[in-house]
Amino acid sequence: MTENFSISMHRPDSLAGAVTAFEGIKNSAALVNGPNGCRTYLSYLTGIQDAQTTPLGLDKYFTDIYFQRVPSTFLDEYDYVNSAEEKLTTAINQISNFDYDLVGIINSPGTSLIGDDLIAILKKSSPKYKTVPIESSCFTGTFVDGFKRASNEILKAVIENDGPKIPKSVNLIGANIFQYNWESDTAEIKRTLELIGIKVISKICAGETLENLKMANRAELNVVLYEEYGNTIAQQLEHDYGTPYMGIKESSPYGFVSSEIWFGKIADFFNLPKTMINEESNKVKMKCYRTLDRISVLMGGLRGIRFGYFGDSSTAVPLISFLHKYLGLYPDVIGLREVGPENQKLLNQYIAENSLDTTILYSPDQYDIREALSDKKPDLIYGSNVEDRVSRGVPDAKFGFIPFTYPYYDQVSLTFRPLIGFNGVLTILEDTLNTLKAIQQP
């Protein structure tokens, strides 16, 4: 029996990206100017990914414009013919009761075609809170299109130009609340940078306060965590404020080598010693060595175990290098969702240099994923709920699944378990070994 794996929600669109940028700022909201259907799923996901809503007083969210997160103007066919101004004005006034610091007014793709002047409507409404209008979220563009465009508009609107540069300070760019494990990962990056002696001014649109975003221009350096999500944001900040950036041509810090290089280059920029970087790396290496030495006796070694990875290119390059070079695993299939040109070059270079017979999928749908898994049948899959569900329909195969990318909802994670940086090595190794032990049991 053929199963239907129509689960394309793993590819959110540009509207979702724009909403994510605003909802990634504390005490802020994204008002979707459109029908309820455009915000229902985004409200659900935002609440899962970033539970900033207070558990008390939830009754205030059951209003004409809210169910929980992401308010909407609830447009219908009449509004598309006669203008959405009346409902938008009502929503803008009602939001005043929530004491937000910032509200994004985002047209849905359909509403963008009506022709209403958002800026004129905002001037007439005179809201008490700061607003940033997004008249078009790039229509049918990708998530990164909407996220980067909205983030740049937010920064243009909120950054305050006064004040000198803060010595040895950075902004983190590219993380967002729709990434799997984003809270632990950004906390690990911040922790390591502070060990080196570097202050993080803001995690742009990734669980940050508006007050910190206002000072983003005072950083001495902008650091891009993920090329696909942060390249144009860093470039815009360099253009507007002369702030240099790094991280686009470097792989994200996953595994020992990439983490040492990534943090080392930042330390070099500020002429800081790398002592703490080496100490952190060596501490984790020793812990991993003892575990791998014991496990190799029990499991007979890891070399040759085959795996598949599904996610973005900036994460793929360092993860595959770590699993292949350090653990001896073999990359069977790579499914790339968002692709950055610099990391695509690095990936192609790594595969060529190591003579790997690896299948690479670009923007794969569920049918592409199933075909690749049926053909290659890797032992392990690093990915999301999408790959996990698809893999269950592959006949005569037993896959070990490791959550690594968005979306993933099957377990609650409240502890500090980063995937990135030096502590991230421990999480990756722990999940890999435990999963292998589970699938090798009779």
More confident residue, 136 or 201: 201
Same domain membership, residue 17 and residue 142: yes
Cβ count within 10 A of residue 27: 14
Same domain membership, residue 230 and residue 311: no
Max alpha carbon distance in the chain (Å)? 73
Taking only the tens place, the pLDDT of each residue in 229-260 is 999 999 999 999 999 999 998 889 999 999 99
pLDDT at 50: 82
pLDDT at 60: 59
Of 211, 240, 269, which residue sits at a domain end?
269
In-domain check, residue 163 = no
Containing H/E element for 360?
Answer: strand 359-362
Same domain membership, residue 285 and residue 265: no
Same domain membership, residue 185 and residue 257: yes
Q: What percent of the chain has pLDDT over 70?
A: 92
In-domain check, residue 209 = yes
pLDDT at 61: 60
pLDDT at 241: 95
- Please state the domain count of the chain: 3
- How far is the C-alpha of 56 from the C-alpha of 308, rounded, in Å? 43
pLDDT at 3: 41
pLDDT band for 412, please (50, 70, 90 cuts).
confident
More confident residue, 397 or 59: 397
**Closest to 18 in 3D by CA, of 34, 37, 31:** 31
pLDDT at 2: 39
Same domain membership, residue 290 and residue 255: no
Domain of 51 in residue numbering reads as 8-158
Taking only the tens place, the pLDDT of each residue in 122-148 is 989 889 899 999 987 666 688 999 999
Span 45-59, average pLDDT: 66
Q: Is the pLDDT of residue 47 over 90?
A: no
Taking only the tens place, the pLDDT of each residue in 171-198 is 999 999 999 999 999 999 999 999 999 9
- What CATH number is attached to the domain comprising 226? 3.40.50.1980
Span 263-285, average pLDDT: 97
In-domain check, residue 35 = yes
Span 360-382, average pLDDT: 96
Q: Is the pLDDT of residue 53 over 70?
A: no
> Between helices 313-321 and 255-269, what is the axis angle to 10°?
120
**Closest to 417 in 3D by CA, of 436, 398, 403:** 403
Same domain membership, residue 289 and residue 434: yes
